[in-house]
Chain A
């Protein structure tokens, strides 16, 4: 019985441990939003084009979110408001944005 409980806890810890920062800190909040997370990505892409510029704009917004720096339309901002400032460290934020970029980037996906 003790062994079974121990094994359960180990599995749970492993399962949470294997999740990326992006999956743990970004996806859960966006999952419930009417505008999916990929749409945010493509709005950033539409405005900033390259990987460097997109990541820089996202980092800037997430660290200091304002109405002016948001890429959302006024209607959406009025409805959902501006998000709270991120609590993630620079390293964790960078890691999350890397995953985000790799997930939705256009490079190597066109046929």
Chain B
């Protein structure tokens, strides 16, 4: 686990995005299920509540029916509809026409025996004898205040507990599913670390010995071979630098200094000149003088090297590289194979490679992004398939 901590094997942004998307979707589905169950539970509780109310309302209805019977018998003398302060009522004939009503609501569902509407309970009963022609009687009583408060409290309490538990289970399930991927990344990091250690000494030996050879004493054929060895060694050296940065970036302290970018770019172009010559790439440079930046020299060198290395690596034989330096802008354009515009936003992610026809680990631009982030530089990539790539660094 120490390796995992030291080697920055946190999930990359896409994995994190996947994690959050999954959790959001999972939580959403859990919520829908919980709402459905809660709805059924609430409906059941409401039915139970209404069943309890039914008996009391039935007694009140019988009282009212008795009053209607008296009125029916004495209708030639009495015309006052019986009223009760405990409820409102209405009577309807068999054609569902309202005979008389003291209800607040005009629309009563006579096909339901008991229901709640607008904070009122309605109870419907069919008369055995149609006093005053009334076949149906409807009673309206106020809904008892907060009768469902306990139901809501139960629902929120248990719903919340179940929701939290299911989300927690979902989180651990996802971590379990992601473990193989995390292990693979960890393995790759560990492999890079081990490889890097083994690269350092032989590469330095090759490069220092090549530098000791005087090219003037070599015949052209041998010089050509030595140049090839130099290019190959520098490629390995660059790779070694990248891997070292990747592994040790969190331990490296920055030593910022004022760097003359024109001089630095000229130096780096010279460094890559042999590589460019090998692919017959024409390099054009338009570098303004006196453009400086306060930055760690090694880091800005690494940033430029990675961009230039890509410009060479993904260029065509006989292609071009144009390097521009203006105030607060470095632009490196190549006439290489480019990439789809939709993929450029993922280009900075570690181990992401869109072209596997050339070597590499897919770490160069992630190092560029890390350095740019550290110094607040803006790196913009414009690319078109088969037309080339343009990388702009502004600050």
Contact = CB atoms under 8 A, between A and B. Distances in A.
Report whether chain A binds chain B: yes
A110 B90 CA distance: 12
B94 A49 contact: yes
Interface residues of A, number: 18
Interface in B114-151: 129-135
Given A42-B72, A106-B133, A49 B93 contact: yes
A110 B81 contact: yes
Contacts of A31: none
A51 to B, nearest CB: 7
Contacts of A111: 79-81
A50 B97 contact: yes
A72 B133 CA distance: 17
A20 B14 CA distance: 93
Nearest to B71: A110
Nearest to B136: A49
Contacts of B130: 45-49
Contact of A46 (B72, B95, B97, B100): B72
Interface in A31-61: 38, 42, 45-54
Contacts of B135: 49-50
Interface residues of B, number: 19
Contacts of A46: 72, 129-131, 133
Q: Is the interface of A mostly helix, strand, loop or mixed?
A: helix
B93 A109 contact: no
Q: Is the interface of B mostly helix, strand, loop or mixed?
A: loop
Interface in B61-110: 72, 75-76, 79-81, 93-95, 97, 99-100
Contacts of B93: 49-51
Contacts of A49: 93-95, 130, 133-135
Looking at B75, B95, B135, which has the most chain A CB atoms within 10 Å of its CB? B75
A106 B97 contact: no
A107 interface: yes
Nearest to B82: A110
Interface in A9-41: 38
Contact of B94 (A38, A50, A105): A50
Contacts of B131: 46
Contacts of B76: 38
A106 B132 contact: yes
Interface of A: 38, 42, 45-54, 105-107, 109-111
User: Which A-B residue pairs are the 8 nearest by beta carbons?
Assistant: A49-B94, A50-B95, A49-B130, A50-B93, A110-B100, A45-B133, A50-B94, A110-B81
